[in-house]
Amino acid sequence: MTNLNEQLHAARAAAQVIAAMGSEAKRALIHAMAQALADGRDAILTANARDVDAANEAKQNAALIDRLRLNPSRLDAVVAALNQIAELPDPVGEITHSEQRPNGLTVQRVRIPLGVVAMIYEARPNVTADAASLCLMAGNAVVLRGGSEALHSNLAIAAALHGALAAHGVPEAALTLITDTDRERIRELVQAQGLIDLVIPRGGEGLIRFVTDNARVPVIQHYKGVCHLFVDASADPALALKLLIDGKTTRPAVCNALETMLVHRDIAATFIPNAVVRLRALGVQVRGCPQTHAIYAGVVPANESDFGAEFLDRILAVRVVDDIDQAIAHIQQHGSDHTEVIATRDADAAERFIHGLRSAVVMVNASSRFSDGGELGLGAEIGISTSRVHAYGPMGLAALTIERWVVRGEGQVRHG
Amino acid sequence: MTNLNEQLHAARAAAQVIAAMGSEAKRALIHAMAQALADGRDAILTANARDVDAANEAKQNAALIDRLRLNPSRLDAVVAALNQIAELPDPVGEITHSEQRPNGLTVQRVRIPLGVVAMIYEARPNVTADAASLCLMAGNAVVLRGGSEALHSNLAIAAALHGALAAHGVPEAALTLITDTDRERIRELVQAQGLIDLVIPRGGEGLIRFVTDNARVPVIQHYKGVCHLFVDASADPALALKLLIDGKTTRPAVCNALETMLVHRDIAATFIPNAVVRLRALGVQVRGCPQTHAIYAGVVPANESDFGAEFLDRILAVRVVDDIDQAIAHIQQHGSDHTEVIATRDADAAERFIHGLRSAVVMVNASSRFSDGGELGLGAEIGISTSRVHAYGPMGLAALTIERWVVRGEGQVRHG
């Protein structure tokens, strides 16, 4: 307890140092961090091999081992990502609003860092470098608690990054890696009121639920991505098929992949057979409602639980709907507020779809796979929020800051 | 349990109705709510008298009874506030960002309502009407849980407001008053994940801590306002004195009142005696550090606990500091991140003060009493956040919405 508490106090103190750094100093720091990773490549890959060997011995599943594994090209990608983050516009100091009040006061809203941001995540060791650089670029100290299976990789990455911090006169505590893998430490971390300003959990639903249930500091939640494609009666079938194939098959395991397709009954008889043939050719299992089955008998009958499921795999649930309102109602009931897509040539239908849904991202005639901070223009992404507080959808650097008020006067008082 | 759960499901359903209302329909609704309060004046004042009598019998303290009491002029003020809220700019639908990506996608960020907002508060029955109208104007359903001492007042106010909702075809559940005064209901309310999008507690530190410690849904915290005035060496003494008197004496019990004054040592010998004489004439007790005491022996010696205390009374802690950095360090250590003021004629000192502090509101040569949603141009205020997430400082209608993403394309895919 004391140990974590001391670490968090040191992080809080370091946050003041980072917050006071100018944009150019931060850019130089992040570039130096990228270089330190490149220079430390051998040590990092050796440490990672140790984690991967242990995971293999423990017979972890292949997906976890894949997320855990670093190799020269993946490490190059991390280095490139850091160099890109170093060149993003600095949100700190941005004046988002400015006005003069009738009494002569000048009122501004100006972005400042959040303070200390905690990231709690699982197997991917690249998060250690990505998240650290995003938090630091936005002027925050960062506390990282990665998964036990990636401990040696994370230690090696943090050692390299600490070298860059030291060379730039930044206290090591600005990037604090929690190495105690006991889950109790997560509980203490998320209850550290006054020391942690925001917790961002990234990982499975179990981790996110544990954090939410125990937290006494603010948490940005990202439960899951159950993304829907609605093929409207007026859709261009070729366009809809393109969105379907891109959304379902290019990376089925990510949160912006499609999980369910809803098809307007007026287009179902022609669209569904084409779609099923294409999907099957790409190894996707289609689980259809009774109407889908009636149109194309070869599909697997869907259970009710298939609607709303995050398969993260080459499986797609398909349902025929009577109209757009039924599509909207289906998504409201089964969706996860992440990303929904409509394929349509009817502008009114598009507006109805947008306004009927409260998901974080709504797309008209575009692939769900664009629901990503980089693709939407944020430059990088620290997470995707599905709770409608602070940030909603992909979160970039600005989501790691907050607007505060700066007021300038000439002696104004309220009851003069 | 079931009962509250059913109420919250009804509120969630009603939120969709409110969210779909246009600005003009919402304005008409809020004006009708104001009129309903005016029409229901007799019933509301009778119910309030019953609460006040009970509070008197229970020997509640005078401050609580004053907050509880309504009279014709206070009710008129509530009616006027609602009519003003009805005319505020509608944040829903506001496009806060719009750009075309290199691939031709049009990416916008558009404000939508949060969904269901819960307010948990104590004695003031006017919050029932204020908070309800702000939440509804921003397109949200509202769940209100007022203090048991105001139950009859709140029931009478809610009855009047429900009449207006019904007349406008809005389900009553859009304004849900929780009448079960058992504190267990608060626990259930703040753990209702998926049903409540944001909880705003307003009241004493005990209530806010209970909510924070038990919440599994997002909470906006407002712990306390320990506001500081720093009188710099270069301050105009007359201006600094005006800010001091306004900040300390016009409404000492509110959160934007001054609690501590820090005085630069170079101006202390002349400024402090004048200030103490003026404060004493206005009934303010001054508790000074040893240096303050050395300058003006009549002041009460301050304990260490006086610095950081929220007196909410005619008491001021005073400390002499060596320089602006010591003032900043003092505020960082003892402040509550609410509002800090510098009196100075030195532009560099002003910038140093602004950048050295991370409080929600920093004022240069202006009274702390302007730290208020209305005074800062928000039109109205639902609360003041001292946590650096979602909103920081005074919160208006926009803080009851969230920006989501709307993306329009022509069939773009990521891996075409």
- A70-94 tens-digit pLDDT: 999 999 999 999 999 999 999 999 9
Which B-chain residues 59-78 have CB contacts (< 8 A) with chain A? Answer: none
CB contact under 8 A, B388 and A197: yes
Is B241 a residue whose pLDDT tops 90?
yes
| For chain A, domain boundaries | 2-220+390-407, 227-376
Q: pLDDT tens digit string along B199-230?
A: 999 888 889 899 999 999 999 988 789 999 99
Q: pLDDT tens digit string along B250-289?
A: 999 899 999 999 999 999 999 999 999 999 999 999 999 9
Q: Give the chain B residue nearest A197 (alpha carbons).
A: B388
Closest CA to A286 of A263, A264, A265, A261: A261
Residue B102 near chain A (CB below 8 Å): no
CB contact under 8 A, A216 and B216: no
Biggest alpha carbon–alpha carbon distance for chain A? 81
Mean pLDDT, rounded, for B290-314: 96
Beta strands in B182-296 (DSSP E): 198-202, 227-231, 258-264, 285-288
Residue B63: pLDDT band (50, 70, 90) is confident
Q: Give the chain B residue nearest A108 (alpha carbons).
A: B376
Closest CA to A311 of A371, A250, A365, A254: A254
User: How far is it, in rounded angstroms, from Cα A161 to Cα A180?
Assistant: 19
Is A1 a residue whose pLDDT tops 50?
no
Determine the distance in angstroms separating the CA of A245 from the nearest CA of chain B, rounded to an integer: 9
CB contact under 8 A, B242 and A361: no
Residue A101 near chain B (CB below 8 Å): yes
Helices A265-281, A237-249: axis angle to 10 degrees equals 40
Of B105, B193, B242, which has the smallest distance from its Cβ to A413's Cβ? Answer: B242
Cβ atoms of A220 and A118 closer than 8 Å: no
Cβ atoms of A373 and B34 closer than 8 Å: no
Helix (H) or strand (E) holding B411: strand B401-412
Q: pLDDT tens digit string along A318-358?
A: 999 999 999 999 999 999 999 999 999 999 999 999 999 99
Residue A9 near chain B (CB below 8 Å): no
Of A216, A366, A404, which has the smallest distance from its Cβ to B407's Cβ? Answer: A366
Mean pLDDT, rounded, for B7-33: 97
Mean pLDDT, rounded, for A258-286: 98
Of B376, B389, B405, which has the smallest distance from its Cβ to A390's Cβ? Answer: B389
Residue A364: pLDDT band (50, 70, 90) is very high
Q: What are phi and psi of B8, to 5 degrees?
A: -70, -35
Is A117 a residue whose pLDDT tops 60?
yes
Mean pLDDT, rounded, for B148-153: 95
Of A323-332, A346-355, B38-47, B175-184, the one with minimum mean pLDDT is: B175-184
Chain A residues touching residue B352 (CB < 8 angstroms)? none
CB contact under 8 A, A407 and B377: no
Residue A376 near chain B (CB below 8 Å): yes
Is A2 a residue whose pLDDT tops 60?
no
A168's CB contacts (< 8 A; 6+ apart) are: A25, A28, A29, A32
Of A19, A364, A402, which has the smallest distance from its Cβ to B389's Cβ? Answer: A402
Of B250, B361, B409, which has the smallest distance from its Cβ to A366's Cβ? Answer: B409
Question: What does DSSP assign to residue B25?
Answer: H
Chain B residues touching residue A354 (CB < 8 angstroms)? 406
For residue B123, what pLDDT is reported?
81
Q: Give the chain A residue nearest B394 (alpha carbons).
A: A405
Chain B residues touching residue A113 (CB < 8 angstroms)? 358
Q: Give the chain B residue nearest A377 (alpha carbons).
A: B101
**Domain A227-376 class, CATH top level:** alpha beta
For residue A203, what pLDDT is reported?
84
Of B236, B366, B413, which has the smallest distance from its Cβ to A246's Cβ? Answer: B413
Chain A residues touching residue B13 (CB < 8 angstroms)? none
Closest CA to A179 of A205, A157, A207, A195: A157
Residue B142 near chain A (CB below 8 Å): no
Q: Give the chain B residue nearest A257 (alpha carbons).
A: B414
Residue B345 near chain A (CB below 8 Å): no
Of B218, B350, B377, which has the smallest distance from its Cβ to A218's Cβ? Answer: B218
Cα–Cα distance list, B343 to A149, A406, B271, B350 (Å): 55, 14, 12, 8
- Local structure of B269: helix, strand or coil: helix
CB contact under 8 A, B405 and A350: no
**Neighbouring C-beta atoms of residue B31, cutoff 10 Å:** 17
Q: pLDDT tens digit string along A165-211?
A: 999 999 999 999 999 888 899 999 999 999 999 999 988 888 989 99
Closest CA to A256 of A338, A321, A314: A338
Determine the distance in angstroms separating the CA of B152 from the nearest CA of chain A, rounded to an integer: 33
Q: pLDDT tens digit string along A11-45?
A: 999 999 999 999 999 999 999 999 999 999 999 99
Residue positions counted in chain B: 416
Q: What percentage of chain B carries pLDDT values higher than 90?
A: 91
Q: Cα dihedral sign for B367, B369, B371, B374?
A: negative
Is A128 a residue whose pLDDT tops 50?
yes
Q: pLDDT tens digit string along B353-403?
A: 999 999 999 999 999 999 999 999 998 899 999 999 999 999 999 999 999
Determine the distance in angstroms separating the CA of A93 from the nearest CA of chain B, rounded to an integer: 9
**Across the beta sheet with A339-343, what order do the strands follow?**
A300-301, A285-288, A315-321, A258-264, A227-231, A339-343, A361-366, B401-412, B106-113, B95-100
User: How far is it, in rounded angstroms, from Cα B338 to Cα B334?
Assistant: 11
CB contact under 8 A, B371 and A193: no
For residue B416, what pLDDT is reported?
66
Residue A358 near chain B (CB below 8 Å): yes
The CATH code for residues B2-220+390-407 is 3.40.605.10
Determine the distance in angstroms separating the CA of B16 from the nearest CA of chain A, rounded to an integer: 9
Determine the distance in angstroms separating the CA of B134 from the nearest CA of chain A, rounded to an integer: 17
- Among left, alpha and beta (phi > 0; psi -120 to 50; other), residue A389 is beta
Q: Give the chain B residue nearest A223 (alpha carbons).
A: B194
Chain A residues touching residue B255 (CB < 8 angstroms)? none
Residue B353 near chain A (CB below 8 Å): no
Residue A416: pLDDT band (50, 70, 90) is low
CB contact under 8 A, A218 and B216: no
Residue A50 near chain B (CB below 8 Å): no
Residue A49 near chain B (CB below 8 Å): no
Start-to-end CA span in chain B (Å): 51
Residue A7 near chain B (CB below 8 Å): no
Q: Give the chain B residue nearest A337 (alpha carbons).
A: B404
Residue A219 near chain B (CB below 8 Å): yes
Structure tokens given for B167: 């007349």
Helices A183-190, A2-19: axis angle to 10 degrees equals 50
The DSSP bridge partners found for residue B112 are: B402
CB contact under 8 A, A365 and B411: yes
Structure tokens given for B272: 């402090």
Structure tokens given for A405: 């008020």
For residue B224, what pLDDT is reported?
87
Is B1 a residue whose pLDDT tops 50?
no
Is B334 a residue whose pLDDT tops 60?
yes
Residue A411 near chain B (CB below 8 Å): yes
> Looking at beta carbons, which pairs linking B89-94 to residues 24 or more positions away fall under 8 Å?
B89/B379, B89/B397, B90/B23, B90/B26, B90/B27, B90/B137, B90/B138, B90/B397, B91/B138, B91/B397, B91/B398, B91/B400, B91/B401, B92/B19, B92/B23, B92/B138, B92/B139, B92/B401, B93/B23, B94/B398, B94/B401
Mutation target for B interface from A389, A395, A410: give the one with most B CBs within 10 A: A389
